[in-house]
Amino acid sequence: MLYVHGVKGIFTMHGSNLDDIKNNKAVFKLIENKQIEKILFI
Amino acid sequence: MNEIYDVIKYFPINIQNTLKEILSSNSKLEKDIHEIRIRSERPIFLGFANSNFGIDYIVSQTEILQILERVCENSIYAYKNQICNGFITIKGGHRIGIVGTVVIENGRVINIKYVTSLNFRIARQVIDSSNNILKEVINTDRNTIYNTLIVSPPGKGKTTILRDLIRKISNGIKEMNFNGKTCGLVDERGEIAATYKGIPQNDVGMRTDVVDNISKNDGIKMLIRSMAPEIVACDEIGTIEDVEAIEYALCSRSKRNLYNAWFKFR
């Protein structure tokens, strides 16, 4: 399997829980496509 | 903790004296104050994390104009673009929100005719505020980070933590054997690095390039094309345009990365 390292990212978003993320279809797409590897709730 | 006095010096002497008297009566106020709200012909309000209280001092329209002139170094015209964006960043990274009677031409704000309210937000960098989440973000096996989304309600410290995280990633983390990375930061509203005349007022790390006063969409693309960051960061994503720019970044490869591509065959 070929791995090529690209740009990584850290982003923030308003919300309290996973439902808030799911309600934002654009951002949820990043998660569905596994482009976001970790979600941290503060 | 002198941040509050960086801000108070912009006020007319009567307001300065009133605020100094209140702050000197309780040292906790100095440390905990988040914002000072000035409204035309109404009392001054001091804001804290979970509360606010009014001071018995009615600010006149003339005093608001005096404050604005001081903030703009006696040249309001030179700060016109920032005023039309609704905020000015001053030395120390403090942000002043500005609202009033807006003048619009061709769908764009070209002026604020009568300023009615000013909101002085006191900037405080909290070093090591990201310590609790470092192990989640840093991928020590590959000396990189996981693409991470930090989620929280407004006012709970996302920006403070993001700032500290970028600083640590940029400088490297000796305790984790993590080498510093070239970071690109899109500071759309000037809250993270708080650049003042080209100089970040907050420490965002020695390897961090900052582009501010620009949309996340344009800023990310500019950074990718011009600064070849290993890591990009921005605050409060949410629009389709934000996500498209992020996808562009995460899928992009700089020329250096192409030359350094590594292979693992199974």
With beta carbons under 8 A apart, name residues in chain A contacting B262.
3-5
pLDDT, position B192 = 92
Domain that holds residue A9: 1-42
CB contact under 8 A, B149 and A12: yes
**How many CB pairs below 8 Å do chains A and B form together?**
155
Given this model, what pLDDT does residue B257 score?
A: 45
Question: Which pair of tokens denotes residue B67?
Answer: 């404050």
Question: Which has more pLDDT, B170 or B195?
Answer: B170
- Quick: pLDDT tens for B100-138: 999 999 988 888 889 999 999 988 889 999 999 999 999
* Helix/strand/coil for A22: helix
Average pLDDT over residues B33-37: 93
- Whether B200 shows a pLDDT value over 70: the answer reads yes
Q: By the CB < 8 Å criterion, does A27 face chain B?
A: yes
Taking contacts as CB-CB distances below 8 angstroms, the residues of chain B near A26 are 238-240, 242-243
CB B213 within 8 A of CB B190: yes
Dist. CA B54–CA B75, nearest whole Å: 30
Does A30 contact B at CB distance below 8 Å?
yes
Q: A29 touching B, CB under 8 A?
A: yes
Q: Domain total for chain A?
A: 1
Q: Which residues of B touch A24 (CB under 8 A)?
A: 238
Inter-chain CB proximity B144 and A42 less than 8 Å: no
Mean pLDDT, rounded, for B51-60:
94
Q: Check if CATH label 3.30.450.90 holds for domain B3-121.
A: yes
Give contacts of A9 with chain B, Cβ < 8 Å: 147-148, 231-233, 246, 249-250
Does the pLDDT of residue B69 top 70, yes or no? yes
HSE (CB half, 13 Å, CA atoms) of B77? 0
Q: How far is CA B129 from CA B59, B101, B162, B176, B185, in A?
A: 36, 39, 9, 17, 18
Question: Which pLDDT belongs to residue A1?
Answer: 39
Contact status of A19 with chain B (Cβ, < 8 Å): no
Q: In the predicted model, is pLDDT for residue A4 greater than 90? A: no
- pLDDT of B9 > 70? The answer is yes
pLDDT bucket at B77, cuts 50 / 70 / 90 = confident
| Residue B190 pLDDT level (bands cut at 50, 70, 90) | confident
Q: What pLDDT, on a 0 to 100 scale, did the predictor assign at position B155?
A: 77
Q: Is A34 on the interface with B (CB under 8 A)?
A: no
Q: Is the pLDDT of residue A3 over 80?
A: no
CA-based nearest residue in chain B for residue A8: B231
ipTM for the whole complex = 0.91
- In the predicted model, is pLDDT for residue B78 greater than 90? no
With CA atoms as reference, the chain B residue closest to A39 would be B149
What is the pLDDT at residue B252? 72
For residue A5, list chain B residues with Cβ-Cβ distance below 8 A: 142, 144, 257, 260-262
Q: What are phi and psi of B26, to 5 degrees?
A: -155, 105
Provide the pairing of β-strand B108-121 with B95-105.
antiparallel
- Closest-CA distance of chain B to residue A23, Å: 10
Mean pLDDT of B60-64: 96
Cβ contact A27–B233 (<8 Å): no
Q: What is the pLDDT of residues B130-189, one digit of tens each?
A: 999 999 999 999 999 999 999 999 878 899 999 999 999 999 999 999 999 999 999 998
Token reading at B147: 């693409």
Q: What is the pLDDT of residue B266?
A: 34
Residue B76 confidence (pLDDT): 87
Counted residue by residue, chain B has a size of: 266
pLDDT tens digits, B208-264: 999 998 999 999 999 999 999 999 999 999 999 999 999 999 987 543 444 444 443
Would you list the domain boundaries of chain B? 3-121, 131-259
pLDDT at B206 over 90: yes
Place of tokens 């002198």: B2
B169, closest residue in chain A (CA to CA): A10
Please work out, in degrees rounded to the nearest 5, the angle formed at the alpha carbon of residue B145 by the alpha carbons of B140 and B151.
125
Q: How far apart are the C-alpha atoms of B8 and B78, rounded to whole Å?
A: 22
Position B153 scores a pLDDT of: 92
